[in-house]
Chain A
Amino acid sequence: MLTTDQIQQNIPRYLTALQQTELVRQLNDFENRSYYTSLFPNQILQGDGWSGIEIIRFENGARDKVKGILLSNSCDIDPANKRDFSPRIIFAPLVRLNEYAKLLASFLGVEQINNKMTAIRRQHVSSLFFLPHGGLLDTDYIAILDDLHTIPFEIFRHNSERVKLFTLSQMGFYLFVLKLSIHFCRFQDGDVRS
């Protein structure tokens, strides 16, 4: 997880002071703000939502195409950066929150489910990234940060069926990166490694 110093060192300085202030305002009110921007409709960027991403089921080798959010760094998957070897693109498949809640209703109580849905929407569940309705998302979704997949970037790039579902806004992107940090980067993991 990030330290205070690391956050201070990584405030996006390319933003003007006004834009920084706006970012802070939006973060502090993120539940009522749009996660998405209409900018970059065709570029492939970290935090993008795309449909038609090929996925393979480990258990039986089944294949399908799903909606997903890209975790790969934008620079690492920029076709303008020529490479000797093509990268793989990392993504987390998306799940409709209402379908998950409907399934939960067979096993758990209404209040218990509602409390968890509230926590998910507030980005309080560390293994999930909540994606509200918006962009081309027809409803609320979650990305499961414990369920990551990769495919060759060239397969993704040349897939004519893929459609961009959303581009994260400055606020949405910052929120996404903070959640990734919380979930994946815990320096104080308690293990003595030397």
Chain B
Amino acid sequence: MTEVATRQLPTSLGGLAAGFMAAQLLGPPVAAATQWQDRGHPVVYAIPQITGTHGEHANLFAVVGFPSSSVAEVSIVSFYSDLLANQERLGREFEKVLFDNLWDLYAR
């Protein structure tokens, strides 16, 4: 039996799951749905799901009345852009030494 949680997932995951299930189960005509079940696909049961935390505070960043382009925002974007632009790989020789000795290098 396949169990799919659809309740109490507050936003993105719950919404996606519910939307996907609705599209799959409610979308096709009755005849098509019957055929679908007749092919031996598992029946879907909905069970209660403990509240997740995904998206629980999704509006936390958006509802407070800060200007849309505050100095802080601009500065952090600038910082991130600089950080991103300066990224480099560790490099093959450095990676070889690291991964050849990784277990011994772990800090105990």
Contacts and interface: CB of A to CB of B under 8 A. Distances in A.
B36 interface: no
B72 A20 contact: yes
B53 A13 contact: no
A100 B97 CA distance: 8
A11 B61 contact: yes
Interface residues of B, number: 42
Counting chain B CB atoms within 10 Å of each CB, which of A4, A8, A66, A182 scores highest? A8
B101 A64 contact: no
B38 to A, nearest CB: 30
Contact of A81 (B53, B73, B106): B53
Given A100-B98, A103-B97, A182-B83, A57 B72 contact: no
Contacts, number: 128
Nearest to B49: A84
Nearest to A7: B77
A151 interface: no
Contacts of B106: 55, 64, 66-67, 93-95
A10 B62 CA distance: 8
A155 interface: no
Interface of B: 49-51, 53, 56, 60-64, 66, 68-73, 75-77, 79-81, 83-84, 86-91, 93-94, 97-98, 101-103, 105-108
23 contacts: A9-B61, A10-B61, A11-B66, A13-B60, A17-B66, A62-B103, A67-B108, A78-B53, A84-B49, A94-B106, A100-B97, A108-B94, A116-B90, A116-B91, A122-B86, A124-B87, A125-B90, A126-B89, A127-B90, A144-B98, A147-B102, A182-B83, A182-B84
